[in-house]
């Protein structure tokens, strides 16, 4: 996935991935980092962010929470699917994303 501006276009990503996941007539299984991130955020972070919905996060908060997710037990398996313009640090907001698969 390239040419998508996150978090600004998270609603578009959310809608597209949900439509794809619902194509059970052509898909047997479907796993996307986004749904695991959404679950992680809702279960572990949302209250810390004052109840702000994932789709409403500011860019800074989104980048911090994405990095934390990618270094968490839930998100580690997705870390290699992301390419950034510099190496991410689990204590810092995510660098600019070049691509995710």
| Burial bucket for residue 85 (CB in 10 Å: 0-12, 13-18, 19+) | exposed
What percent of the chain is predicted at pLDDT more than 70?
Answer: 96
**Alpha-carbon span 83 to 93, nearest angstrom:** 14
What is the b/e burial string over 17-27, where b = at least 16 CB atoms within 10 angstroms of the residue's CB? Answer: beeeeeeeeee
Q: Assess whether pLDDT exceeds 60 at residue 69.
A: yes
Residue 2: its pLDDT value, please? 52
Higher pLDDT, 27 or 38: 38
Over range 33-62, report the average pLDDT.
Answer: 97
Residue 89's alpha-carbon distances to 27, 59, 71, 92, in angstroms, are 35, 17, 9, 5
Q: Assess whether pLDDT exceeds 80 at residue 42.
A: yes
Residue 5: its pLDDT value, please? 82
Q: Assess whether pLDDT exceeds 80 at residue 50.
A: yes
């Amino acid at each position: 996935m390239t040419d998508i501006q996150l978090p600004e276009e998270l609603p578009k990503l959310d809608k597209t991935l949900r439509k794809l996941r619902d194509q059970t007539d052509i898909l047997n299984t479907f796993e996307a980092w986004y749904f695991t991130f959404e679950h992680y955020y809702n279960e572990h972070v949302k209250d810390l962010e004052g109840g702000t919905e994932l789709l409403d996060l500011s860019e800074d908060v989104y980048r911090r929470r994405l990095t934390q997710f990618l270094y968490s037990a839930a998100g580690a398996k997705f870390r290699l699917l992301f390419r950034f313009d510099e190496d991410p640090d689990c204590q810092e907001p995510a660098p600019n994303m070049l691509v995710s698969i």
